[in-house]
Amino acid sequence: MLKMFHLIMLMILMQGSLNATLVKGNVVLCFQTRGQRASQVAVETVKKARGVGVIFAQFLTKDIASAFDIPLIQVDYQVGTAILAYTTSTRNPMVQFGSAKTILGELIGPEVAYFSSRGPSSLTPSILKPDITAPGVNILASWSPSVALSSAMGSVNFKIDSGTSMSCPHISGVAALLKSMHPNWSPAAVKSAMVTTANVRDEYGFEMVSEAAPYKQANPFDYGGGHVDPNRAAHPGLVYDMRPSDYVRFLCSMGYNNSAIASMVQQHTPCQHSPKSQLNLNVPSITIPELRGKLSVSRTVTNVGPVTSKYRARVEAPPGVNVTVNPSLLTFNSTVNRLTFKVAFQAKLKVQGRYTFGSLTWEDGTHTVRIPLVVRTMINRFYVNA
Ligand SMILES: *[C@@H]1O[C@H](CO)[C@@H](O)[C@H](O)[C@H]1NC(C)=O
Ligand SMILES: *[C@@H]1O[C@H](CO)[C@@H](O)[C@H](O)[C@H]1NC(C)=O
Ligand SMILES: *[C@@H]1O[C@H](CO)[C@@H](O)[C@H](O)[C@H]1NC(C)=O
């Protein structure tokens, strides 16, 4: 069943700014501008002017499914410009709508969606954020029937939705799976298992990309450790574990006073001040927001794989930085299951740098325990350029 409609092109699409006589019964081609980023606004405006559909040309090619009362097609600028050329080359430009089709084919590797929040963390720049990424675009999920999607669709039990609220259940589900397989693992161990086994490449070996304008190679500020891989997370080999006392040291470093911390942990825990307590927090990543000259940080790994194992360090140094790991060989046996190592960083560049990215991977021939390294070299105090 195909329907034909007239296509018109209108530049300005501020809310309520459409000429209703022009729009009524037509499909509107709309280009995303700085002031008007969301296709949703375009759809609402066209609908109010009694238009029948929207073609929305935008920076991002990703088609985020949305439920609207009138059809919305999202295209990139290249396709949008081709459609624009068509509207101006013919006296009577037409659009044809058909019913929806399901297209099955090759999977597209994970990409970081534009709306996914990005690092660094402004509150704690030496703790990498985000930690990890998980599926969160166009997820078929249950939905409360008491919340109508739109006036036309009424109440539904399922909906396709996108966002943190969609990727969070994936991560929670993987955490629950790991906890049921390893009941004695701490929350930090569960998190470490997911982060150190996450993928930074897709199944064809391509580096993950991040939606920008239009695309860039993704880095740990987009995906943290990478895209979660539940099968590998079940057998991480080593974990970066933490105890309650590690969290207390972190809270102290954040400037909470003794009484505030005591009220959180329900016992008297005086703070010990250490300038490196944030850098040395045993998270499965190392982030140095201000590297001047040399700096060394420490981490501790716990063996959760075969009791007797040997791991060798493999470093991919961030550009502009020398990285050495000591010791670079970790030997675990029945009496030694936790080992501490140091990672020394030295700036090679004598310039105020940008953030650069690398990785440290422990390998025993079976397990690959990878953490991101994030470094920004500095020579002077940080000045904001006006
Ligand atoms: C500790 O911090 C809390 C919350 O910020 C504040 O209300 C309290 O006065 C502080 N106590 C001391 C002893 O500084
Ligand atoms: C485990 O390794 C440590 C350090 O190398 C060594 O001192 C200890 O004897 C070893 N234990 C066993 C049971 O082999
Ligand atoms: C970096 O490491 C290389 C090789 O280990 C060494 O030759 C070089 O001097 C180091 N540079 C700095 C600035 O430490």
Q: Which range in 7-16, 68-77, 165-174 is most confidently predicted, on average pLDDT?
A: 165-174
Give me the pLDDT at residue 386, please. 41
Question: Rounded to 5 degrees, what are φ and ψ at 143?
Answer: -145, 145
Distance CA 259, CA 241 (A): 26
Give me the pLDDT at residue 44, please. 86
Burial track 359-386 (b if 16+ CB lie within 10 A, e otherwise): bbbbebeebebbbbbbbbbbeeeeeeee
How many angstroms does the Cα of residue 256 sit away from the middle of ligand 1?
8
How many angstroms does the Cα of residue 308 sit away from the middle of ligand 2?
10
How many angstroms does the Cα of residue 340 sit away from the middle of ligand 3?
24
Distance CA 311, CA 369 (A): 9
Average model confidence (pLDDT) across the chain: 87
Which residues are near ligand 2 (CB < 6 Å)? 331, 333-336
Residue 19 or 145, more confident: 145
Distance CA 172, CA 164 (A): 12
Question: How far is C-alpha 169 from the geometric centre of its chain's CA atoms?
Answer: 15
How many angstroms does the Cα of residue 333 sit away from the middle of ligand 2?
6
Give me the pLDDT at residue 63, please. 62
Task: Decide: 260 in ligand 1 pocket, CB within 6 A.
Answer: yes
Least confident among 9-13, 23-27, 97-101: 9-13
Cis peptide before 130 (omega within 30 of 0): yes
Burial track 297-325 (b if 16+ CB lie within 10 A, e otherwise): bebbbbbbbeeebebebebebbebbebeb
DSSP state of 262: H
- Starting from the CA of residue 254, give the closest ligand: 1
Give me the pLDDT at residue 358, please. 97
Q: How confident is the model at residue 64 (pLDDT cuts 50, 70, 90)?
A: low
Residue nearest to atom 9 of ligand 2 (CA): 335
Amino acid letter at 378?
M
| Closest atom of ligand 1 to CA, residue 257 | 1
**Cβ-based neighbours of 329, under 8 Å, separated by 6 or more:** 310, 311, 312, 313
- Starting from the CA of residue 329, give the closest ligand: 2
Q: What percent of the chain has pLDDT over 90?
A: 49
Residue 168 or 385, more confident: 168
The structural domains of the chain, ordered by start, are 3-97 (3.50.30.30), 139-242+282-377 (2.60.40.2310)
Task: Decide: 258 in ligand 1 pocket, CB within 6 A.
Answer: no
Residue nearest to atom 6 of ligand 3 (CA): 322
| Closest atom of ligand 2 to CA, residue 333 | 1
Report yes or no: 109 and 137 within 8 Å, Cβ to Cβ.
no
Distance CA 320, CA 297 (A): 18
Residue 136 or 149, more confident: 136
- Helix (H, G, I), strand (E, B), or coil: what is residue 175? helix
Q: What is the pTM of this model?
A: 0.83
How many angstroms does the Cα of residue 335 sit away from the middle of ligand 2?
6
Give me the pLDDT at residue 174, please. 98
pLDDT greater than 60 at residue 382: no
What number of CA atoms fall less than 13 Å from residue 45's CA on the CB side? 23
| Closest atom of ligand 1 to CA, residue 259 | 1
pLDDT tens for each residue of 368-380: 999 999 999 887 6
- Helix (H, G, I), strand (E, B), or coil: what is residue 12? coil
